[in-house]
Amino acid sequence: MHPRVPKHCPPGFMGRYTVVPGDTMFFIAQRFGVSLDALIAANPHIPNPNLIFPGDVLCVPQKFPPPPPPPKKDCPCPVTLFDFINRLVEVTTECGVVVGNLDFVGEDSIILSDPKTKRKTIVLCREICFVRVLKHFREEGNDEF
């Protein structure tokens, strides 16, 4: 069998590749960072992509970066958070854990205050993974968790 060589490659292709022993379309696609479907579509001269032979020449399509993930949209705070106002809570977020008195629940964020330093922390509700009440109320002068 003679090597199969395309007459021309589609516009915007990365280059030509000559198949070597052990190659598969899947591994060639991975090597060049293109999808298997795109590699198959760029090579109509290969009727069965499961059968390629050393010496076959393939057109390697241009590599396109994947689209960026969609931006995270603000999400409303769960109404159950209003039950935790003025309570000491532990909020687990995508970035870590924040402990504080829940001072405010807004439309898409909450405000916690550190019981010792009084420092305020704003947490977007879309970042909240879990909220746990540590105490039902904070006694004045008692900074224990």
- Among 1.10.287.110, 2.30.30.100, 2.160.10.10, 2.20.25.240, name the CATH number for the domain at 79-133: 2.30.30.100
Element (H, E) at 30: helix 25-32
pLDDT of residue 145: 42
Question: Model-level pTM greater than 0.75?
Answer: no
What digits encode the pLDDT tens for the residues 3-46? 899 999 988 888 999 999 999 999 999 999 999 999 999 999 99
Name the fold adopted by 13-61.
Membrane-bound Lytic Murein Transglycosylase D; Chain A (3.10.350)
Give CA–CA dist 112/120, Å, rounded: 6
Instruction: For residue range 104-134, list pLDDT tens digits in order.
Output: 888 888 999 998 898 999 998 888 888 889 8
As a three-state string, the secondary structure of 40-95 is HHCCCCCCCCCCCCCCCEEEEECCCCCCCCCCCCCCCCCHHHHHHCCCEEEEEECC
pLDDT of amino acid 107: 85
